[in-house]
């Protein structure tokens, strides 16, 4: 016990600095974590008219089911499209989705990604 007390007495400044660093890192971690959650929830709700219309069209295709669509648009047009839907496990449904999105947005099929929805 004396060894511990002597160590603490001899290294007070170092121990205080280490504790302050731990508190600072913890505070930064907590603040940045809450900021990211707020940003993510805002981004999820903000949908472009293109995404809304495309979601309506795709979900009406036979076999598709519930659908989520994200369209990544840049200065020079559409950069990519992500589709997540219930019927994506069926190869015919995937093909129908691919053709519909390619035609509706006039984009190359290479920039369209289709994934099965986790139910």
User: Where is 36: in which H helix or E strand?
Assistant: helix 12-45
Mean pLDDT of the chain: 85
Asked if pLDDT for residue 83 goes beyond 80, the answer is yes
Asked if pLDDT for residue 52 goes beyond 90, the answer is yes
Q: What is the DSSP letter of 85?
A: E
Asked if pLDDT for residue 19 goes beyond 70, the answer is yes
> What confidence tier does 46 reach under pLDDT thresholds 50, 70, 90?
confident
Higher pLDDT, 70 or 13: 70
Distance between alpha carbon 10 and the CA centroid of its chain, in Å? 49
């Amino acid at each position: 016990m004396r060894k511990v007390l002597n160590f603490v007495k001899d290294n007070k400044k170092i121990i205080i600095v280490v504790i302050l660093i731990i508190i600072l890192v913890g505070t930064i971690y907590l603040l940045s974590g809450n900021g990211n959650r707020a940003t993510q929830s805002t981004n999820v709700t903000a949908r472009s008219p293109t995404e809304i219309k495309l979601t309506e069209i795709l979900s009406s295709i036979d076999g598709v089911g519930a659908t989520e669509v994200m369209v990544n648009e840049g200065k020079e047009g559409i950069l990519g499209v992500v589709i997540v839907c219930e019927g994506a496990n069926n190869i015919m449904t995937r093909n129908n989705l691919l053709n519909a999105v390619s035609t509706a947005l006039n984009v190359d099929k290479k920039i369209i990604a289709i994934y099965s929805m986790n139910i």
